Amino acid sequence: MAGASSDTRPGQRDLTSGPIASTLLAFALPTLGSNVLQSLNGSINAIWVGRFLGEDALAATSNANIIMFLMFGAVFGFGMAATILVGQSFGRRDVESARRAFGSAIGLVLAASIVVGALGWIFAPQILRLLATPPGAFDLALIYLRVIFAGLPAQMALVLMFMGLRGTGDSLTPLWFMGVSVLLDAGLNPVLILGLGPAPAMGIAGSATATLIAGVVAVAALAAYIHFRDLPLRLKGAELRYILPEAKLTRTIVSKGLPIGAQMLVISVAGLAMVGLVNRLGVHTTAGYGVTLQMWAYVQMPALAIGAAVSAMTAQNIGAGRWDRVGRITGAGLLFNFVLTGAAVAIMLVFDRQILGLFVGHDSPALPIAEHINALATWGFILFGGTMVLFGVVRANGAVWGPLIILFVSMFPVRLGLAIGLQPWLGTDALWWSFPIGSAANVIGAALYYRYGPWRTGTVAIPGGDGNANTAVEPAGTLKPAT
């Protein structure tokens, strides 16, 4: 039976009423804080590894982290599909359907991540060879990668719980528990790398083990918090059966989740192909590129936070039948992306030497390479942010194939095609120019799909729930493109 109450719990926001811009910003800022903490954690760990274990170890973690993003993409789509269902259910005030979607997603993601983690452990050497991992970094990358694979189920469960909470309008709780994970991971890194106190000296395996421990502790603590605070997505008593995915609900999640996961895989494969091209340029270029990726993680954080907030807000409004607000949500998201991502790009361009020097030291031969990559490519993340907003809006109504096709074209024929095809004229600069050019192609495709694509028709309903309540298709001509 659908829950009818609209009462909010600690950290929750009603995303279907009130001023759009201020509500969106207030919802997005904690998500941005979570993303910054996550990136800060990766950067701190890279600093520990780079300073204590050297450039070979840093190159090893760079290769391993790209692979983990690939594995993450294999199961991430299920979580995103569940978030859409949770958001639209909450817009309809159908709490029961939200819990069913969340439970099925938990069961699917845990099963998938266990399988992927086991396969990753087994085939880690072959994956690293496909990447042309430099010989000096291969053994270190293998050790690091296998421990990270072991921690994949806990990491994926934590991400899914964060996504589900945001679907209910709660972006504060994920921020606090991301803080718990970061404090544990960053604090344990030097202890386990160097063997401080009673801990054994584990080298690069210590960095990965710290991440594993932090993920397990954080996910257990968050599950306990959701249960004892009686948050809307809590599952207890007879509701625990929802973790065993229902057949019809599973088909809905998989039909939407696979294309979303495929988008992550497209990004990952393109990233792996780029790493393969970079690795052939030597360990200094690989390290410089790895350092630049660390910095780019910060630059893209505002765009990712705003895109997630726009998606959650749009899903709730579609569920509530408030199509009149969707265009204004899109416009506010694009404006906030331009301001916040533009500010992040400006900071990284002005203070690049100081920031990049944190990772490798100011006398490292990798530093000028990283500075050069930053100068040519970082500005393209403003365009990337526009894509995240537009994709977030259309995905909130279950449109997943259009974004996948657009992303594939921008990543492969455009980005990688230019990176390889322009090398006779631009040399290695062709690799770095391919990033902003690919982002331009992506945002143009996203804008055309938002304006002319069929994403406004239909809605995503949970089988057996109150999926038809307040979810009428947008009346023709009432939703205008954002300006």
Residue 244 per-residue DSSP state: S
Are the beta carbons of 309 and 12 closer than 8 angstroms?
Answer: no
Q: Specify the residue for token string 């030497």.
A: 353
Residue 42 to residue 63: CA distance in whole angstroms: 14
Dihedral sign, Cα of residue 418, residue 422, residue 428, residue 433: negative
The closest alpha carbon to 117, from 164, 71, 76, 86, belongs to 71
Residue 25 to residue 334: CA distance in whole angstroms: 12
Residue 219 to residue 316: CA distance in whole angstroms: 26
The closest alpha carbon to 86, from 8, 30, 164, 171, belongs to 164
| CA distance readout (Å), 148 to 14, 64, 161, 210, 318 | 37, 9, 20, 10, 38
Q: Which ranges of the chain have pLDDT less than 50? A: 1-7, 466-483
The closest alpha carbon to 336, from 297, 354, 310, belongs to 310
Question: What does the pLDDT read at residue 465?
Answer: 55
Map residue 12 onto helix, strand or coil: strand
| CA distance readout (Å), 164 to 157, 306, 370 | 10, 16, 37
Question: What does the pLDDT read at residue 10?
Answer: 55
Q: Would you call 237 exposed, middle or buried from its count of C-beta atoms within 10 A (0-12, 13-18, 19+)?
A: exposed
The closest alpha carbon to 62, from 170, 138, 160, belongs to 138
The string of DSSP codes covering 25-81 is: HHHHHHHHHHHHHHHHHHHHHHHHHHHHH-HHHHHHHHHHHHHHHHHHHHHHHHHHH
The H or E element containing residue 13 is: none
E strands of 374-455, at which residues?
none
Are the beta carbons of 355 and 297 closer than 8 angstroms?
Answer: no
pTM of the predicted structure, to 2 decimals: 0.82
| CA distance readout (Å), 396 to 83, 313, 316, 322, 384 | 9, 8, 9, 13, 18
Q: Residues 236-244: contacts with CB within 8 Å, 24+ apart? A: 239/99, 239/103, 240/103, 241/103, 242/99, 242/100, 242/102, 242/103, 242/104, 242/107, 243/103, 243/104, 243/106, 243/107, 244/107
Question: What does the pLDDT read at residue 483?
Answer: 29
Are the beta carbons of 177 and 116 closer than 8 angstroms?
Answer: no
Angle at 286 between CA 281 and CA 288, to 5 degrees: 115
Q: Would you call 381 exposed, middle or buried from its count of C-beta atoms within 10 A (0-12, 13-18, 19+)?
A: buried
Q: Which two tokens stand for residue 106?
A: 């938990």
